[in-house]
Amino acid sequence: MIHGKCFVVDGCWSSIGTMNFDNRSLALNDESTLMVLDSVAAKQLEGVFIDDLRDAKAIDLAAFRRRPWTRRVAEWAANQIVRVL
């Protein structure tokens, strides 16, 4: 499983990778992050983020609870096999 993170600071410093920004991730976890000091790369990452927001949909708790039972079964099944993937 990859849980990626991306951020852009002041339009010039970018980071993309799997690392959490804490001491544990730095010292113990096998994660990686690419740090870039480049305004062109930062602008591209900001554009990707904005594009993702256009396709995003907010889901509140009430909507989550209304999801179909077939979806709940699929989620349960996926959770059962995640450890062997």
pLDDT surpasses 60 at 43: yes
Section 27-46 average pLDDT:
89
**Arithmetic mean of pLDDT over the chain:** 88
Residue 21 C-alpha from the chain's centroid: 14
Q: Domain extents for the chain?
A: 5-60
- Exposed e or buried b per residue across 28-45, where buried means at least 16 C-beta atoms within 10 angstroms of its C-beta: eeeeebeebeeeebbeeb
